[in-house]
């Protein structure tokens, strides 16, 4: 019997989809012939909102752009403003910012551990890793007052200094996570089900990866030593000792291994940061926010988030409001062109699995 | 940052200025170069830097609306993984009937960026394929990211507002009137007026 | 089943008690609030203690959790999902942006008042609400159900024309079936 192609709509209301987006799949049997992503279900017009808010008011809404990992947004916005204005940041603030970035990377990877396994039908892992993520969120809450949205890294430094005994609690959490990581290994990487599911699935052609705009862990899993923290050093990453892990497989398995190695590295980096952190002020005071103007100019800054390169293009026309803040999330390419491309030929049951391995996050596609 | 470390960047700028007419460029800072080109040069410059100067990674494309001066500024942001330099290519387009050559055959992901800019600013990319709708759905007003699109007028026309929000008055004062609670001195010190 | 008033009351009490302990939440993360749902559902806060768990399809779900702002494009899908859900059904508005627009009060693409478009039984405020707040919201909903006051779905049926007019004001191209009870 000849197989006829049918159209399947994956999402926007679907438990397997990451976030709120839709993939229109044309399938023959169980195989995807053509995939087309539809985004825009989360569009809030952030860039328009920022035209109406002054520089400090804009800072409070940038973190809402990406939910799983809001800190790179705050950091990028602050760095862009500082670069245009030429504002100095105290050294201790740079170290605290780096600490925040690494903690948020850990939190984001823990969520990813859960999502990746949940989409393979291994439901123990989400219970563990999302529960463990809360210990990091507790640290954030103690430091900033917010679990998810922190609004902590702002132009000129950070909002407040570390509370008493905070570093000890961070180190305790790191010890705990390192211990848990061994159990994660047993549950995930030594698990035959996961191995068979992940190996050889969602292959990205390494010859095309750079040109297609792949960034972050998927690019490193394709064998490229590419990391913004090394390529375009920001904060104090050049003073930390870490390596960029790479893999050759370029499939879901390789991407999982890259993230697993980076998780361990982030724990080590947090320890180094706490070990070496200097004292001093944490905030370089800005003038009255209502009258605060930034000289005309533009800046493109980028940071390595858990999913890849996060870029901010900020333009000022010399007034007290931003002219344009344009956000480039890593999922912008991963979620649309790349996903459409590598889903061709995949099994339907792997679609959500592949999506999770790319770390597709719709809110930063449409903003 | 010493002067020496900007040599690599300056060389690329000099090379580009020598190759193309009407191209101006400058080194913004370490690892950042900015060049301004004419609208009709976009595809040729992008092709050239990709094939000959190693800017193979396309990072970002943005559009800035300069309403007062009457043009859009298109910004193509490229990255060279080998030399580790970010290149900003800027071109000005007239706001009236803005149209630019399509460049998505150079990088396929450019198609997504161009679709977004077409939808949000109304810039027409000649010869580009892809659905008209990308992010918005059934939008019948002016492209929303243009500066002359007034969101407040639009939301008052289309959406409902919770009563009490429309005047945008001092919320703390309203609450204190309702409950008889006194406003602490610290709060008045940092109030809006 | 006897038809007199008192026994009907007893049946209602038993029915509501049963309903309030099995709230199947439609797994639809409509906005950024979806990030607090995994912690609520998993080991630390474990909402299943209260009989709250996820469900994949609208037809089998009882609670529509609108997690945050609704873009107009999502509103259309939410209405569709809500109308597909079978009675009894309840709606929880999650986050400040469902109450009054929150920080997106001047955004051109998000609705500001959720209860003008679909009936809301419980609102949970905050940006974003903590898992404890989410659980408290659900307990509040359970109380309403036990008292028989969570009647959003009935209200929706009675005032369908009013809701539909509001919905069509935002959704310009209404190319989906008009359910009619």
Give residue-wise pLDDT tens across range B149-163.
888 888 888 887 776
CATH number of domain containing C109: 3.40.50.12280
Domain membership of residue C104 (yes or no) is yes
What would the two tokens of residue A5 be?
A: 């192609």
Domain limits for position C60: 16-170
CA-to-CA separations, B75 to A231, A298, B64, B111, in angstroms, rounded: 22, 11, 8, 15
CA-to-CA separations, B33 to A139, A251, B3, B30, C114, in angstroms, rounded: 39, 34, 15, 8, 47
Q: How many domains does chain C have?
A: 1
Question: CA-to-CA distance for A176 and A42, rounded, in angstroms?
Answer: 36
Tell which of A313, A319, A330, A339 to mutate to test the B interface (max B CBs under 10 Å).
A313
What would the two tokens of residue A153 be?
A: 């890294």
Using DSSP, state whether B10 is helix, strand or coil: helix
Q: Would you tell me which residues 61-100 of chain C have a C-beta closer than 8 angstroms to some C-beta of chain B? A: 72-73, 76, 99-100
Q: Do A40 and B62 touch (CB under 8 A)?
A: no
Domain membership of residue C3 (yes or no) is no
Structure letter (DSSP) for residue A320: S
Domain membership of residue C127 (yes or no) is yes
Domain membership of residue C177 (yes or no) is no
Q: Do A137 and C44 touch (CB under 8 A)?
A: no
Closest Cβ opposite residue C108 in set B137, B144, B161: B144
Between the CA atoms of C52, C54, C55 and C61, what dihedral angle is there, to the nearest 10 degrees? Answer: 40
* A176 to chain C, closest Cα gap in Å: 16
- Strand locations in B30-172 (E): 32-37, 57-66, 71-80, 85-94, 99-101, 124-126
Among C103, C104, C110, C64, residue whose Cα is nearest residue C86? C64
Does residue B2 carry a pLDDT above 50?
A: no
Cα radius of gyration rounded to whole Å, chain A: 21
Domain membership of residue C114 (yes or no) is yes
* A225 to chain C, closest Cα gap in Å: 31
Show residues of chain A in contact with C95, CB under 8 Å. none
For chain A, 367 residues long, give each residue's pLDDT as a single digit of tens: 566 888 888 878 887 777 788 888 888 888 888 888 888 888 888 888 888 888 888 888 888 888 888 888 989 999 898 888 888 888 888 899 999 899 999 999 998 888 888 888 888 888 888 889 999 999 998 888 888 888 888 888 888 888 888 889 999 999 999 998 998 888 888 888 888 888 888 888 888 888 888 888 888 888 888 888 888 888 888 888 888 888 888 888 998 999 999 999 899 999 999 988 888 888 878 787 777 888 888 889 988 888 888 889 999 888 888 888 888 888 888 878 888 888 888 888 888 888 888 888 888 888 7
Q: Which domains occur in chain B, in start order?
A: 3-181 (3.30.460.80)
Residues above pLDDT 90, as percent of chain C: 0
Second CATH level (architecture) for the domain A18-27+60-366: Orthogonal Bundle (1.10)
Whole-model pTM? 0.87
Domain membership of residue C11 (yes or no) is no
Domain membership of residue C119 (yes or no) is yes
pLDDT tens digits for C21-38? 888 888 787 888 788 888
Q: Is the peptide bond before B157 cis (omega within 30 degrees of 0)?
A: no
Q: Is residue C176 less than 8 Å (CB to CB) from chain A?
A: no
Q: Would you tell me which residues 288-347 of chain A have a C-beta closer than 8 angstroms to some C-beta of chain B? A: 290, 298, 300, 302, 309, 311, 313, 315, 323-324, 326, 328, 332-333, 336-338
Domain membership of residue C5 (yes or no) is no
* C158 to chain A, closest Cα gap in Å: 27
Neighbours of A106 (CB within 10 A): 25
Q: Would you tell me which residues 6-35 of chain A have a C-beta closer than 8 angstroms to some C-beta of chain C? A: 12-15, 19-20
Closest Cβ opposite residue C108 in set B137, B154, B162: B154
Average pLDDT value over all residues in chain A: 86
Size of interface B-C (CB pairs under 8 A): 48
């Amino acid at each position: 019997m000849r197989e006829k192609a049918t159209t399947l709509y994956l999402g926007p209301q679907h438990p397997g989809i990451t976030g709120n987006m839709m993939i229109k799949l044309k399938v023959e049997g169980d195989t995807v012939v053509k995939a087309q992503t539809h985004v825009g279900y989360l569009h809030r017009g952030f860039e328009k909102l920022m035209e109406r808010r002054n520089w400090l008011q804009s800072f409070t809404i940038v973190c809402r752009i990406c939910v799983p990992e809001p800190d790179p947004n705050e950091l990028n916005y602050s760095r862009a403003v500082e670069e245009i204005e030429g504002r100095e940041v105290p050294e201790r603030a740079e170290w605290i910012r780096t600490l925040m970035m690494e903690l948020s990377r850990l939190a984001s990877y823990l969520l990813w551990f859960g999502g990746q396994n949940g989409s393979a039908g291994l439901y123990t892992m989400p219970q563990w890793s999302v529960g463990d993520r809360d210990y990091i969120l507790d640290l954030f809450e103690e430091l900033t007052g917010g679990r998810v949205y922190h609004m902590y890294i702002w132009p000129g430094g950070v909002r407040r200094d570390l509370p008493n005994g905070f570093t000890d609690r961070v180190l305790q959490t790191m010890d705990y996570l390192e211990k848990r990581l061994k159990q994660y290994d047993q549950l995930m990487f030594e698990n035959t089900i996961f191995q068979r599911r992940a190996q050889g699935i969602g292959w990205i052609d390494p010859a095309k990866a750079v040109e297609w705009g792949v960034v972050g862990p998927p690019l490193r899993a394709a064998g490229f030593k590419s990391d913004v923290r090394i390529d375009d050093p920001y904060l104090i990453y050049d003073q930390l000792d870490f390596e960029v892990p790479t893999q050759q497989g370029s499939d879901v398995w390789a991407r999982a291994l890259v993230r697993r190695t980076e998780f361990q590295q982030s724990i080590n980096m947090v320890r180094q940061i706490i070990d070496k952190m200097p004292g001093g002020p944490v905030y370089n005071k800005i003038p009255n926010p209502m009258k605060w103007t930034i000289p005309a100019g533009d800046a493109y800054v980028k940071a390595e988030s858990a999913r890849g390169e996060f870029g901010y293009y900020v333009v000022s026309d010399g007034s007290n409001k931003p002219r344009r803040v344009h956000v480039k999330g890593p999922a912008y390419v991963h979620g649309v062109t790349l996903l459409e491309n590598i889903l061709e030929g995949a099994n339907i049951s792997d679609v959500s699995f592949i999506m999770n391995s790319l770390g597709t996050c719709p809110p930063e596609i449409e903003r | 940052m010493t002067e020496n470390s900007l040599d690599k960047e300056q060389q690329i700028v000099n090379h580009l200025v020598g190759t193309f007419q009407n191209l101006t460029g400058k080194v913004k800072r370490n690892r950042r170069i900015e060049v301004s080109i004419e609208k009709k040069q976009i595809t040729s410059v992008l092709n050239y830097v990709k094939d000959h100067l190693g800017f193979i990674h396309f990072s970002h494309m943005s559009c800035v609306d300069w309403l007062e001066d009457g043009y859009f500024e298109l910004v193509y942001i490229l990255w060279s993984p080998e030399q580790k330099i970010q290149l900003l290519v800027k071109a000005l387009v007239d706001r009236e009937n803005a149209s630019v050559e399509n460049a998505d055959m150079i990088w396929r992901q450019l198609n997504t960026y161009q679709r977004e800019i077409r939808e949000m600013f109304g810039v027409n990319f000649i010869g580009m394929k892809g659905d008209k709708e990308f992010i918005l759905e059934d939008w019948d007003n002016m492209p929303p990211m243009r500066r002359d699109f007034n969101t407040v007028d639009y939301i008052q026309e289309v959406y409902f507002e919770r009563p009490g929000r429309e005047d945008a008055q001092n919320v703390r004062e309203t609450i204190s009137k309702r409950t008889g609670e006194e406003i602490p001195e610290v709060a008045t010190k940092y109030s809006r007026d | 089943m006897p038809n007199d008033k008192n026994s009907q009351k007893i049946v209602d009490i038993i029915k509501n008690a049963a309903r309030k302990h099995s709230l199947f939440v439609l797994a639809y993360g409509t906005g950024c609030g979806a990030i607090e749902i995994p912690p609520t559902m998993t080991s630390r806060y474990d909402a299943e203690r209260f009989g709250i768990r996820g469900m994949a399809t609208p037809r089998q779900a009882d609670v529509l959790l609108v997690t945050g702002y609704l873009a107009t494009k999502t509103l259309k899908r939410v209405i569709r999902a809500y109308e597909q859900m079978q009675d009894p059904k309840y709606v929880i508005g999650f986050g400040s942006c469902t109450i009054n627009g929150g920080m997106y009060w001047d955004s051109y693409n998000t609705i500001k008042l959720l209860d003008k478009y679909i009936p809301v039984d419980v609102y949970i405020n905050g940006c974003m609400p903590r898992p404890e707040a989410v659980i408290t919201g659900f307990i509040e909903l359970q109380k309403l159900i036990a008292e028989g006051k969570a009647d959003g779905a009935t209200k929706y049926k009675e005032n369908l024309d009013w809701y539909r007019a509001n919905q069509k004001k935002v959704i310009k191209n209404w190319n989906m079936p008009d359910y009619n009870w």
